[in-house]
Structure 1
Amino acid sequence: MSDYQLNLNDNRIVWGKEINVEPRIGKSPNDSIRQGAGSALDWNLPAGIYRAKEVVRALDPLLEAMLVQLGEPVNGDPAVLLDSLQANLAISGRVSSLPLGPLALEDKAGVELTAQAVRIGEQLVSWAREMNAEKRTLASYGPETLGQLEFRSHCYGHALIPDAVAQVWGPFGGPRIMQIYNEYLHQMVLLRDALLPFANWEQVPFEVKEHTEFKGLRFLEPAREVFLTQLLGKKLTHKSIVQYAQSVVSSGLSAAGYGFQYQLGTVLPAGLGEPAGTAARYLLKWHPVQTIQAEETQDMAAISFDYEYDDYYAAPRTDAGSGTPGNKDTLPVSLGEIAGPNVARLLPITASDRTTLRLSLELDGREFSVDLGQLFRGHRFMYRPEGNDNADVAIVKRTSVSLHSAADILALSGLVTNTDGIHFIPTDGNELVRWALLGKLYPENVVILDNGHPEELEKAYVSGKGFGTQFLVL
């Protein structure tokens, strides 16, 4: 196995050993349609490793069975049934199963997850339409087999658009059709909601085990209920997103840090490998890598990645010092071209009761490392140069300006802070250094700049909490 790496512009982040999960995706010896009670046939998602598209494919027999039993094409219209699915997966409207649109969530986690719900829902419906148009399920099973599908679906919460009501409950429909359609809708909703935490949701592999007491993805219902209660109640934290993601991929982990390893890869905050200024702050990303090595005879262990400091407020702090005096009129400045780095490594540190990861890089001939968890925490708490509506009233005027080299800041112990003033740290646009600084600076009033133009600087000066020292990273 070779080292896994992420490319970030001209830079790379390297760690662990790359794994190949492709041979395991969608491979199951069992069929989704099997013998049920009496003469009827039942449906269940066969045990196996899935990605989102494979689940949609395994759900297509439900849609095809409905159409056969309705008498397609005369009485059954797939467009109507799929339009109702689309309305269920939308984030607004009378039949929406997750009405995030009307809530207008403004917290960063809510905004990111709302956009996720839209993206995922639209793609799932697109796949469902494509698969139904191919009619592979009908060709594989035949109308006689699909006509025997019948089961009880224990769910009552999914409303239908009027045209779908007319079709499902019309003269050729009835309870039997409705039970199948209800399960189809519910499994799609469960799939959409399960993938909300993951920026690269289409790639995430997860294990499904067959249970006698419920079908398909219903094993996710308890964790989903907790997660959605927090989301809709605007009490969602990064930790709760990680905890939900661990349940989705059947990691077996109960405690949650900022990321984790499970049998099919590693999940870390989505910002890793992206520009710090624009990267998602709360979403996660799956990586095909074994971060913590296991013995050759063992499966990959499920491991939670912990913060070095559980409470950053209680972490040791170091004063940044006075640096080189400067003034606002001369900003931005460069303290000389940064010598590297173009490669950073993630280094695991495993103790008896916890595992942490550090981002290690070489800068100006010196080796530095920061806690990866604190790096992501700093990214969530950072500010962008967006100004402040109450600047004239609430902002404490900062007059002194100090210039610091990134290497000098990274060389200090603990988390770096100061008592007042503006502290400017140029990085020559090196994203690895910018990320490392987010893991070193105390996460309060740290502003990530794009270009240092006068207009951007004016907004940056009044960004943040409006009091205390301010660090500007360019």
Structure 2
Amino acid sequence: MQEYQLTLKDKQIVWGKAIDIEPLIVKYPNDSFRTGANEALDWNMPAGIYRAKDIVMELDKMLQAMLVQLGEPVNDDPTVLLDSLQANLAISGRVSSLPLGPLALEDKAGVELTAQAVRIGEQLVSWARDINSEKRALAQYGPEALGKLEFRSHCYGHSLIPEAIAQVWGPYGGPRIMQIYNEYLHQFVLLRDALIPFSNWEEVPFEVKEYTEFKGLRFLEPVREVFLTQLLGKKLTHKSIVQYAQGVLSSGLSQAGYGFQYRLGTVLPAGLGESARTAPLYLLKWHPVQTIAADATQDLIAVSFDYEYGDYYAAPRIEAGMGTPVKEDAFSFSGENYDEPSIARLLPYSDTARTTLRFSLEMDEREFSVDLGQLFRGLRFLYRPQRNGDASTASAKRNTISWHLAADILSRSGLVTNMDGIHFIATGGNELVLWALLGKLYPENVVLLDNGDPEELEAAYVSGKGFGTQFLLL
């Protein structure tokens, strides 16, 4: 069995069984066009497993049919129609289908998801322009067949730029063209929104089934509506993003934790395999790995990954103790003297009620493990040095500064905290040790340093909630 492997600088995170998804992508027996009423052609996306670019290629068939039906005055130029698509996929402007711009100013999840929506929208339009320039659909079907495409598009919400209105409703356009264009725009909007949770959205495979009542990606409309209500209402949580991703990927799961496995791979928070200093906090990432084993005759088991502690506030806590007292002007950042771990493993544990994952590593011939879900919580609650607290409170804290070994912290049960003081833990620059500590420390007033110079320490002392103990990680 080949284990799946993530590389984190010079370190590795390994688990499960790597899977090859490529043979499954867009392998389907049916064509997009089917004979409808009055010898017209109808369109629906064939059932199959797609990635984003495969769907853009499929949607180009509608664009090419519109160009054929608009005829010579358009001169087979898709610029206006694609410019209106670009305006629909923008996050601001009169015709924007998802006006996220103001959300990013104050909401952490909104910052990530807004930037993600911009990236995805721009790339989808770029692909649409490139694919149409190749004229694959025209070569495959010919102008006569494309000229017969006609169907009813049940959607009324997409506005057009003025140039597109003039073209679609002009003397060579009309309701028939508008219906096709409306469906074309709507399918792109559904695609963009479906991909927002995933940092590696270009790679994510998801299954499309054919429904008599839905065209293409319209089966996503119910879960999308819930997601957008939470997003635009600024009530989006990490759990709700996971819930949405489960619906997009047709996992069949109703309960959500912090990640999940479905029949085409595993989805976990996108921070895994990244530096904790720059890792996304709310996005997810798809991995081609079977985390929970299935029988040789079965597809991958759909399973949600739960937190060890459903409510971290109620989790058992243990004090770190005083550690080694140090003076502020005697800090040494040389780190610990231990056999540096180079590999971490994700270890699943399942019982009748739930499945959890442990993040496990070895130091000095000792094995340490923390709950993977708690690790991601620790990342989301992590502070960076920032002058936002009371300098007098920080001054009082400096009288009780101590040093702790990472191994001592990781060896304790429950979540580690202290009553007061400033507690410094060096990781020796090892990202695996840092990640493990994020899963072990009670997620309150944990501050991640870059270099520990005097200026950064001054900012760190007044970072966080402004009360209680502090843990400084370097």
Normalised-by-shorter TM-score class: over 0.9
- Aligned-partner residue type, residue 65 of structure 1: A
Q: Name the CA distance, whole Å, in 2 between partners of 1:130 and 1:146.
A: 19
Q: Is the 8 A contact 2:336 2:427 kept in 1?
A: no
Q: Name the CA distance, whole Å, in 2 between partners of 1:335 and 1:92.
A: 48
Residue 234 (str. 1) matches residue 234 (str. 2): yes
How far off is 1:75 after superposition?
Answer: 5.5
Residue 414 (str. 1) matches residue 421 (str. 2): no
Q: 1:394 to 1:107 in 2, by over 3 A?
A: farther
Q: Is the 8 A contact 1:75 1:167 kept in 2?
A: no
How far off is 1:386 after superposition?
Answer: 2.4
Residue of structure 1 in register with 2:403 after alignment: 403
Mapping of residues 198-213 of structure 1, within 5 Å = 198-213=198-213
Q: Name the CA distance, whole Å, in 1 between partners of 2:470 and 2:387.
A: 13
Q: Is the 8 A contact 1:383 1:463 kept in 2?
A: yes
Q: 1:3 to 1:134 in 2, by over 3 A?
A: same
Q: Is the 8 A contact 2:87 2:95 kept in 1?
A: yes
How far off is 1:363 after superposition?
Answer: 1.3
Q: Name the CA distance, whole Å, in 2 between partners of 1:27 and 1:462.
A: 57
Secondary structure of the corresponding residue to residue 143 of structure 1? helix
Mapping of residues 141-220 of structure 1, within 5 Å = 141-220=141-220
How far off is 1:448 after superposition?
Answer: 1.2
Q: Deviations over 1:13-48 (max 9, x none)?
A: 010000000011111111111112221100111000
Residue 91 (str. 1) matches residue 98 (str. 2): no
Unaligned runs of 5+ in 2: none
How many residues of Structure 1 are paired with residues of Structure 2 in the alignment?
473
Residue of structure 2 in register with 1:391 after alignment: 390
Residue of structure 1 in register with 2:312 after alignment: 312
Q: Is the 8 A contact 2:335 2:428 kept in 1?
A: no
Q: Is the 8 A contact 1:396 1:466 kept in 2?
A: no
Moved more, 175-184 or 32-41: 32-41
Secondary structure of the corresponding residue to residue 160 of structure 1? coil
Q: Name the CA distance, whole Å, in 2 between partners of 1:461 and 1:63.
A: 58
Q: Percent identity of the aligned residues?
A: 76
Q: Name the CA distance, whole Å, in 1 between partners of 2:472 and 2:192.
A: 39
Mapping of residues 252-401 of structure 1, within 5 Å = 252-388=252-388, 390-392=389-391, 397-399=396-398, 400-401=400-401
Q: Is the 8 A contact 2:262 2:303 kept in 1?
A: yes
Q: 1:28 to 1:438 in 2, by over 3 A?
A: same
Q: Deviations over 1:47-71 (max 9, x none)?
A: 0000000000000000000000001
Secondary structure of the corresponding residue to residue 45 of structure 1? coil
Q: Name the CA distance, whole Å, in 2 between partners of 1:207 and 1:45.
A: 11
How far off is 1:453 after superposition?
Answer: 2.0
Q: Name the CA distance, whole Å, in 2 between partners of 1:257 and 1:221.
A: 22
- Aligned-partner residue type, residue 185 of structure 1: L
Q: Is the 8 A contact 2:370 2:436 kept in 1?
A: yes
Aligned-residue RMSD, C-alpha: 1.3
Q: Name the CA distance, whole Å, in 2 between partners of 1:329 and 1:229.
A: 52
Q: Name the CA distance, whole Å, in 2 between partners of 1:122 and 1:459.
A: 38
Q: Name the CA distance, whole Å, in 2 between partners of 1:94 and 1:296.
A: 53
Secondary structure of the corresponding residue to residue 38 of structure 1? helix
Residue of structure 2 in register with 1:125 after alignment: 125
Residue of structure 1 in register with 2:11 after alignment: 11
- Aligned-partner residue type, residue 378 of structure 2: G
Residue of structure 1 in register with 2:102 after alignment: 102
Q: Is the 8 A contact 1:40 1:149 kept in 2?
A: yes
Q: Name the CA distance, whole Å, in 1 between partners of 2:66 and 2:395.
A: 66
Secondary structure of the corresponding residue to residue 6 of structure 1? strand
Q: Name the CA distance, whole Å, in 1 between partners of 2:335 and 2:107.
A: 36
Q: TM-score, normalised by structure 2?
A: 0.98
Q: Name the CA distance, whole Å, in 1 between partners of 2:315 and 2:274.
A: 27
Residue 63 (str. 1) matches residue 63 (str. 2): yes
Q: Deviations over 1:297-354 (max 9, x none)?
A: 1111100000000000000000000000012222343353331200010000010110
Q: Is the 8 A contact 1:332 1:452 kept in 2?
A: no
Q: Deviations over 1:221-272 (max 9, x none)?
A: 0100000110000000000000000001110000000000000000000000
Q: 1:473 to 1:79 in 2, by over 3 A?
A: same
Q: Name the CA distance, whole Å, in 2 between partners of 1:72 and 1:386.
A: 61
Q: Deviations over 1:266-287 (max 9, x none)?
A: 0000000000111001000000
Q: Deviations over 1:123-143 (max 9, x none)?
A: 000000000100011011100
Q: Is the 8 A contact 2:103 2:111 kept in 1?
A: no
Moved more, 323-332 or 165-174: 323-332
Q: Is the 8 A contact 1:359 1:370 kept in 2?
A: yes
Q: Name the CA distance, whole Å, in 2 between partners of 1:315 and 1:131.
A: 53
Q: Is the 8 A contact 2:190 2:218 kept in 1?
A: yes
Q: Deviations over 1:425-450 (max 9, x none)?
A: 00011000000000000000111112
Moved more, 333-342 or 298-307: 333-342
Secondary structure of the corresponding residue to residue 361 of structure 1? strand
- Aligned-partner residue type, residue 293 of structure 1: A
Residue of structure 2 in register with 1:461 after alignment: 461
Q: Is the 8 A contact 1:243 1:256 kept in 2?
A: yes
- Aligned-partner residue type, residue 466 of structure 1: G
Residue of structure 1 in register with 2:38 after alignment: 38
Residue of structure 1 in register with 2:48 after alignment: 48
Secondary structure of the corresponding residue to residue 435 of structure 1? helix
Q: Name the CA distance, whole Å, in 1 between partners of 2:393 and 2:335.
A: 32
Q: Name the CA distance, whole Å, in 2 between partners of 1:371 and 1:336.
A: 23
Q: Is the 8 A contact 2:103 2:110 kept in 1?
A: no
Residue of structure 2 in register with 1:116 after alignment: 116
- Aligned-partner residue type, residue 81 of structure 2: L
Q: Is the 8 A contact 1:8 1:275 kept in 2?
A: yes
Q: Name the CA distance, whole Å, in 1 between partners of 2:294 and 2:58.
A: 33
Q: Name the CA distance, whole Å, in 2 between partners of 1:210 and 1:357.
A: 35
Q: Deviations over 1:171-219 (max 9, x none)?
A: 1011100000000000000000000000000000000000000100000
Moved more, 337-346 or 408-417: 337-346
Moved more, 165-174 or 334-343: 334-343
Q: Name the CA distance, whole Å, in 1 between partners of 2:86 and 2:281.
A: 28
